[in-house]
Amino acid sequence: MYRALVLGAGLAQGAVGAATGCFQMLPRAQNSSLAPSKDRWPGGLHLAVDYYPSQWPEFMWEPDVARMRDANISYVRVSEFDWAVLEPTEGNYNFTLLDKTLELFEKYGLKAIVGTPTAGPPNWLTEKYDVDFVDRTNATLQFGSRRHYSFSSFDYRVKSQKITQKMAERYGTSSTVVGWQLDNEFGCHDTVRSYDHNAITRFRTWLKEKYGTIEAMNDAQGRVFWSQGYENFEAVQPPFLEVYTNNYAHTLDWYTFSSDMVIDFAKEQASILKQYAPTHAVTTNLMMSYTDFDHYKFAREVGIDFATFDEYPLAAPSQFSWLSDTELADYLRTGLPDYQALHHALYRGIAGAAYNATAGPFGVMEMEPGVLNWNNYRVSPIEGMVRLWTHETFAESGDLVNYFRWRQVPYAQEQTLSGLFLSDNTEDGGFVEQQVMANEDLPKLREAGSGDALEPQRDVALVFDYASHWVWAIEPYSGSWDVKQAGYTSPTLKYFDLVYTFYSSLRRLGLSVDVIGPDQPLDGYKMVVVPSLPIIPDTFDSALSSYTGPVVVGPHTGSKTPDFAAAPGLNPSAGALREKLPMRVTRVETPPEYALSAVSYNGTTYNISAWEETIVCSRDNATSTASITSGSRHRKGKPAACTKDGAHYLAFSPPADLLVAYLGDVAAGAGIKDLAGRTPGVQNDLGATMRLAKRGDLLWAFNYGVEEAAAPEVEGELLIGEAGDVPAAGVVVWKV
């Protein structure tokens, strides 16, 4: 019934490509800058929503838009999956629906974020052109869902640029459009690495440009081993469907090449948009825990004006195998206390990369308002969590929270995904919480000026690196090799798990933290934390050599050369870390929990598993101090961490409780205070569910628990919430 109504809702009204209102075809913009600009995105605190008029009958459109205005919605994202609507047959364009949508937005004072529709190629395109995605089992994926294209397809590049240009020509000077979203969730559903013949052709060219000669490539990749040497570049294949383990350096090249293809694809669209829509902001919706392409390089080379990501907190707990059953139960309906904040910090730093800074404007392009249709276990957030997640975005310096979506659709693949409204157009719980945020909380935050400026640099820098994730995945020192997956399965430790544990510990300490890439500057930070950095880039090595504050690095750091070989002279590799900290790693083990491995720090013993290195706190006649010792049966009393002059190396996978103690002591020694003005350490551990965040002179306390919890004592004016314990899913805001 709904689809029949939609087909009759005016989608095909008027002549193909007919212009209405102010949306005439526009002349090509002249002298437009391709550089990012913060001026293109209006600062402040904004609420937004996703809306898909193509999925609803036309008589519903205007009442919906009027209700959005009344709900204090500022922006609406549209059209990111409408290619078949906008270009129903090749070369024949029908912008009637988008014209009418923008006219309604203009009438009711809303602004649009328009998506380029390239995440959903229409059937005519997939039937006529060579665009198919091929997975690592050499299976060609079929039309019928989304993202069924290869970033390397020559045909798809041409067609994607053409539809982008047509849209940009038409709406590039529209005052109703505030920004553009490139595609949708680049690489979602494991689609960064396509093994199609176009990708293979481009990969061979990429390798030739990198190495020059096939002999140089064979030598750099160590292909003398097992007689793997290629005769010429035309014979080179991606690392898949080989009998046993793939060549590590070749796999790293493939991952890097595939990342570059995403960036190239996005650059093509962004350059068109900035040419025809020079005053509109450009972004894309990135994802949580997604590491298949380098987002820092993406931000720098694509030149996005602001960064956004899609926030689905209830999907997080099931991603971490090390959580206990009790923790899984506690966070089932709240999400993990530090998962959202980690991504706020990550994308704030990624936004900064576009501006050669450590922070930039960012927001959430999709916020979960209820039940997820794709989660392992489909449950509802407890009352208050949608409001809490919204507050947390603003507290961490975000400017935008966009709820996905306006109304739950009753057909097709996302019919079990909650919206702000149920499919019968009645309010759902997410809308109720959005209204509390919009009508009660947001005016107070705006009046207090919390969104007037980007929060300055934090005290602590945590270094996150996409290449490090690839190195950990390619050779995790554990797990079982799977030919069809072209990789190891069930490793004992993953890079992202290590990062989360370090970040969560810093948050439990109440510290203010930036997440930055290894190419961003360290100047001004009071403390630097590196969970792991197997290949140390020259830029980071240079920054580290002149940095004078404390630096804490985790296991596997400095262990590999850029060609994925073991560091000469044993790790840490030659450079600033080795110069600051005389030590050597002589062996790596990945013991199971039943091995009963342990470490001791400051009189307390902590159980460890998954990663344990044998280290010596000396090198070249220089020595360092063992700050943590091993309690494992085979290494009892031996060093488990080395330190000297503010440099620290932890040679194992550290549990959060140990990191709270160790990082707290390092931070206190550096004179750092927590966000409540206290000395950081185990004595001021915020615990499992209470968290703090600060923006300007506003301080937030969030309770991720299902029971009330005590917040630290704060001197200041209570702006939102009540004095005393913070209720479950509660938010308190002070002006300090």
**Pick the catalytic residue: 185, 392, 396, 612?**
185
The closest alpha carbon to 691, from 291, 316, 321, 344, belongs to 344
Provide the strand spans (E) within 631-670.
Answer: 639-644, 647-650
Angle at 72 between CA 66 and CA 76, to 5 degrees: 70
Q: At what angle do helices 339-353 and 385-395 cross, to 10 degrees?
A: 30
Decide if 311 is catalytic. Answer: no
As a whole number of angstroms, the distance between CA 126 and CA 121 comes to: 7
As a whole number of angstroms, the distance between CA 341 and CA 694 comes to: 12
What is the sign of the dihedral through the CA atoms of 153, 159, 160 and 162?
Answer: positive
The closest alpha carbon to 630, from 599, 654, 607, 602, belongs to 599
N-to-C CA span, the chain? 55
At which residue do the structure tokens 């999907």 appear? Answer: 315
**Pick the catalytic residue: 169, 311, 366, 589?**
366
The closest alpha carbon to 36, from 391, 299, 388, 430, belongs to 299
CA dihedral angle for residue 231, residue 232, residue 235, residue 239, rounded to 10 degrees: 90
What is the sign of the dihedral through the CA atoms of 236, 241, 246 and 252?
Answer: positive
299, 353 contact by CB (below 8 A): yes
As a whole number of angstroms, the distance between CA 445 and CA 431 comes to: 19
Report DSSP letters for 258-322, one per residue.
HHHHHHHHHHHHHHHHHHH-TTSEEE-EE-TT--SS-HHHHIIIII-SSEEEEE-GGGSGGG-TT
Decide if 185 is catalytic. Answer: yes
256, 244 contact by CB (below 8 A): no
Enumerate the active-site residues. 185, 366
